[in-house]
Amino acid sequence: MIPCPAASLPLAQSRLHLSLSCLTVSTYMDERSIFTPMNLLQTLHDEMHACCRCLEAGYAIVPGAVFSGKQVAERRVMLIGQAPGVTEAEVKRPFNAGSGRRLFQWLGEAGWQEDAFRARQYMTAVTKCYPGKGQNGKGDRVPSKAEQALCRPFLEREIALVHPRLMILVGGLAIKLFFPARAKLQDVVGTAVYFPPAALTNPVNFDLSTGDWMRHNLPSSLSALSPDGRLVVPLPHPSGASLWPNKPANQALIGRAIQLLHHIRVAWHLT
């Protein structure tokens, strides 16, 4: 078993517990001792870096959470992928390799340059450690439901602290956080869900029924939306191992999603 690096971290970093729905702090012994969002985010990141829950539960992950985004104030977009790949785990950079090239091509068409997006926005994943190779040795293992559940509290705390206005879901695992498990990619790519401000009194809201699943006339309806709400936009996984994005009908859906992201970026000043 790979040794858990958590053992070498200061004890104080493991003593912060947030109530996810209301962000109350039950215990706080960290020497930083200031309840600013930045400090809370830093504490969360320390915990994520040190976490070995999946390893301790018997899953052959490589511990060392991969995410990016060290500030809160300017983070208005949160991009959620499936899990880091091996190169992402090596350099600790989300979407670092081939998948990243295709993803940032899409985001570039929506108006975000890669360097600026990486610098200003928040990138994370459903599970944050490299899950290892799949059984056939081709491609990476899809994290199990148990691993997703183990990592879910981290994702919920990230959402509560970053409070993104736009969430971009990349790939099936992230999409299923919001959309019905039976929904196919072709049902959701090119659509969006809008959560009005009232739905975000709980900042961690995955309940699609409290949002408006918009499937038609998206750009024209954007101007009517309060920018204090949240939009959720799905994209397929950009991995070269997936053939889905190559089919012409699906490329049209991806084009629609990119157009939608472009309109949101402009309308809500998400630079």
- Binds ligand SF4 by CB under 6 A, chosen from 16, 18, 53, 106: 53
Does 159 help bind ligand SF4 (rule: CB under 6 A)?
no
Stretch of 48-56, 67-75, 98-106, 247-255 contacting ligand SF4, by CB under 6 A? 48-56
Nearer to ligand SF4, 93 or 262 (CB): 93
In the stretch 164-183, what mask flags binding to ligand SF4 with x, by CB under 6 A? --------------------
DSSP structural state of residue 141: P
- Binds ligand SF4 by CB under 6 A, chosen from 41, 123, 151, 257: 151
Does 158 help bind ligand SF4 (rule: CB under 6 A)?
no
Q: How far is the CB of 132 from ligand SF4 (least distance, A)?
A: 11
Does 61 help bind ligand SF4 (rule: CB under 6 A)?
yes
Does 63 help bind ligand SF4 (rule: CB under 6 A)?
yes
Query: Cα 37–43–44 angle (5° rounding)?
Result: 85
Nearer to ligand SF4, 58 or 248 (CB): 58
**Whether the Cβ atoms of residue 114 and residue 123 lie closer than 8 Å to each other:** no
Q: Burial of 54 by CB count in 10 Å (0-12 exposed, 13-18 middle, 19+ buried)?
A: buried
- Binds ligand SF4 by CB under 6 A, chosen from 16, 18, 40, 51: 51
User: Around Cβ 27, how many Cβ atoms within 10 Å?
Assistant: 8
Q: In what order do the strands lie in the sheet with 212-214?
A: 122-125, 77-81, 166-170, 230-235, 192-195, 212-214
Nearer to ligand SF4, 82 or 191 (CB): 82
Residues in the chain: 271
Query: What tokens does 93 get?
Result: 């950079």
- Looking up tokens 């003593």 gives 15
Query: Cα 44–83–215 angle (5° rounding)?
Result: 100
Q: How far is the CB of 154 from ligand SF4 (least distance, A)?
A: 6
Binding site for ligand SF4 (CB under 6 A): 48, 51-55, 61, 63, 65, 127-129, 147, 150-151, 154
